[in-house]
A and B are shown apart, each in its own frame.
Chain A
Amino acid sequence: NAGVMQNPRHLVRRRGQEARLRCSPMKGHSHVYWYRQLPEEGLKFMVYLQKENIIDESGMPKERFSAEFPKEGPSILRIQQVVRGDSAAYFCASSPGLELANYGYTFGSGTRLTVV
């Protein structure tokens, strides 16, 4: 049973390009969470999705960032027109249900985005 799979592991983009980060949750998990971790900082919640639904996007920047979790396929975090400040590690986590009290999260290995 594979864990949470994120790809790519490392991504380099020039300013103004688009970045697409992918996350496949653990088998049987239908809840996906994206977090961003800036160097020397804590994990900041971005968005919580279930299949085909965005449940909570209160941590997403209002512009350039979007997320989806289609019925088929991985969850995608999309960053348009990247800027140097977007350089960070982006972690995806999944859970089998809303009851975090019972399950907590399983994290993927993250995608390290570098904007040059």
Chain B
Amino acid sequence: KAGVTQTPRYLIKTRGQQVTLSCSPISGHRSVSWYQQTPGQGLQFLFEYFSETQRNKGNFPGRFSGRQFSNSRSEMNVSTLELGDSALYLCASSLDGGGYWETQYFGPGTRLLVL
């Protein structure tokens, strides 16, 4: 079974631009979570989607948004990019068959550099 895939793997943007990152979960997984990893803050939870609905959200500004499609694929968008948004963005999927949190499996990440 294929793992979580993320595209693109690397991205360079300039301040003020916006960016969209994509995540395809493991086949059959319905929950997708997004995380940001920076050297200073470590791994931080952004938000989680299940059945096309955002179920939970971390402590990030509204410039960070996401959505999930009916096939469980997810996208996250960052608008008005700032230098501090340079980070590794990770997507994780889980089965979530019974409404309980289950083991999350991570993708390789998208490395975003904001100049």
Q: A and B: partners?
A: no
